[in-house]
Structure 1
Amino acid sequence: MNNADQDLAAAHREPASVLSLWLSLLSVGPIAILLALIVLLSLASPHFLTPRNISNILAQTAVISVVAMGQHLVILTRGIDLSVGSNLALATVTGALVYQATGSTILTILTMLMSGAAVGAINGIVYVFGRLPHPFVITLATLSIAKGTALELADGRAIPGMPEAIRFIGGDAVFGIPASFFVVAGVAALILVMAKTMVWGRWIYAVGGKPEAAVRMGIPTRGVLVSTYIISGLCAGIGAVLLAGRTDAGSPLFGNLLELDTIAAVIIGGASFLGGRGHIGHALVGAVMIGVIRNALNLLNVDIFFQLIAIGVVIVLAVEADVLRTYLEGRVRTLRAARLQ
């Protein structure tokens, strides 16, 4: 290689290395922002890092965390589930009605889980086999249907009463740690194992990253897509158990704006609407960040309406970070290809 070629290679290598560094910073950005928030808020309020407040944050973010993990799988496939909030409300109502009728803890829990999974299955089956252009259509429809069904079944009112076991899971603590935290950890571990050790996990990334290529490779894309919506619905059912236990009731008014919170958690955590990129930690980091922001604003006596503004600003910043990440990845690939020529 002559001097001119060496100079050209060095010129390509340096920008590529700088862009790679920026990509690395973006990938750890959500965690770094969360840690910075914790440090700043602990300085702003002496109550923020107290064991009691930390326990409150974990309890308050449990429902969002669980439902966001299901939403994350859907977003990995370039989809979206707008029905999770209404799905959760319907699950709490059906669970409360079953408990009133039978008094059975097992049947109450199973009813909530099956109710959530059933709505998820409807979303997936209608979207895939109905050949809809986007899951936005069916999940928006089931948002309305599930909410209306919950209001009709409950006559527009909360239904009090939940089994002791559900109240423990949703509202009690073990050694100062909310019991709901262990549910979140268990769901996260299960999804992580499924995504990392099963071929199904690789299929999700393939379907979301390169849908056309996934079809050519013989991947059962329809089954993969339906499965993600069923799991999203099941996570809404698990969230229903946690929320019903915490409130000792089922209500058709539960879950308002939960779909926005879960989508925000996934995107704030660093996942991409373009699909095929992200891991379960993104949903958890985003959910905790939302919980930390809301908790801190409450501690600082900030107007509750400002919370919506703050979360909206964070979402915009997260989406812009995703756009920047996509641009930098394209530039890095171009420079590396040029260097190999």
Structure 2
Amino acid sequence: MRNLINILRQVSIIGIISLGMTLVIISGGIDLSVGSALAFIGTLCILTLNKTNSILLSILVALLLGALIGLINGFLITKGKIAPFISTLGMMAALRSLSLYINKGGSISGNIYSFTKLSNGEIFGIAYPIIIFIALTIIINLLLQDTAFGRYTISIGSNEKAALLSAINVDKVKIIIYALCSTLVSISSIIESSRLNSISSASSGVSYELDAIAAVIIGGTRMSGGKGKILGTFFGVLILGILNNTLNLMNISPYLQGLVKGVIIIVAVLIQKKE
């Protein structure tokens, strides 16, 4: 049980990102900027913390910055007519570069030790990140399954032209989806930053987009959009976490774990094509 709780704690950061990625992929898009966004948001979060000595203000800055990044992505895709892959790829490169520039290629640490309680605190033996991950899973699941926004998201991914003809404001829905995705990234960034009270401009968030996409695809979301479930992503995240844990226990080189994830994504997509 302790090992399972540890796995849940380890995957909570990727899990929260994967929830937003699920909405993006269901709508027929992709967001490659999540890892770089995590590092950039975490950097400014800790900078704000050190300047103001206010945990609340640093969290607010992180959330607003996440929403802003998502809005920019959404506007580039909808109003700029740039393909999601290209738009978020450019954002990924830009945010990573800014993080490296601000931190001079290194890391930044917070001055307030109590900031670490956000990710290291517990309730009845269950860490805060696990509680946040489960709570957000429930909320996003309800949003997708039981609201008009959720139905619009699925409709856009299934057939965008049909959604337009059905009087759905496609651009507005897409902008909200990308803003929500990046806001969830900012929550993960806060947890990541508070875990060690620091963030690295070079290594934080690296390959997180791959992990998130892998979790979403394993959870049964169709890569082409129009089909997917949040609960599927939740279990996809757990499967990845158990897989990583098993590979570590078997003393398999961490350098080969990316190979395993890549194979899983390819196999999952091939299975979806046969369905």
Counterpart for residue 256 of structure 1 = 206
Q: Offset of 1:308 from its aligned partner?
A: 1.6
Give the aligned CA root-mean-square deviation in angstroms.
1.3
Counterpart for residue 3 of structure 1 = none
Q: Offset of 1:306 from its aligned partner?
A: 2.2
Counterpart for residue 216 of structure 1 = 165
CA distance in 2, matches of 1:305, 1:193: 37
Code of the residue aligned with 1:55 in structure 2: it is: I
**Which blocks of at least 5 consecutive residues in structure 2 are unaligned?**
none
Task: Indicate yes or no: 2:70 matched with 1:120.
Answer: yes
CA distance in 1, matches of 2:257, 2:224: 27
Code of the residue aligned with 1:124 in structure 2: it is: G
Task: Indicate yes or no: 2:94 matched with 1:145.
Answer: yes
SS at 1:159's partner residue? strand
CA distance in 1, matches of 2:143, 2:163: 19
- Largest Rg, 1 or 2: 1
Counterpart for residue 72 of structure 1 = 22
CA distance in 2, matches of 1:73, 1:125: 17
Code of the residue aligned with 2:178 in structure 1: it is: Y
Matches within 5 A, 1:1-341: 51-132=1-82, 134-161=83-110, 163=112, 166-253=115-202, 254-325=204-275
Q: Is the 8 A contact 1:92 1:240 kept in 2?
A: yes
**Is the deviation greater in 286-295 or in 93-102?**
286-295
Q: Is the 8 A contact 1:99 1:163 kept in 2?
A: yes
Q: Could you list the structure 1 runs, at least 4 aligned residues long, displaced by more than 6 angstroms after superposition.
A: none
Q: Offset of 1:154 from its aligned partner?
A: 1.6
Code of the residue aligned with 2:185 in structure 1: it is: A
Code of the residue aligned with 1:139 in structure 2: it is: T
Provide the TM-score with structure 1 as the length reference: 0.78
Residue identity over aligned pairs, in percent, reads: 32
Q: Offset of 1:199 from its aligned partner?
A: 1.0
CA distance in 2, matches of 1:202, 1:166: 38
Q: Offset of 1:168 from its aligned partner?
A: 2.0
Give the 3 Å change call, closer, same or farther, for CA 233–247 of structure 1 in structure 2.
same
**Which blocks of at least 5 consecutive residues in structure 1 are unaligned?**
1-50, 326-341
Q: Is the 8 A contact 1:166 1:241 kept in 2?
A: no
CA distance in 1, matches of 2:210, 2:111: 27
Q: Is the 8 A contact 2:143 2:149 kept in 1?
A: yes
Q: Is the 8 A contact 2:35 2:205 kept in 1?
A: yes
CA distance in 1, matches of 2:212, 2:165: 32
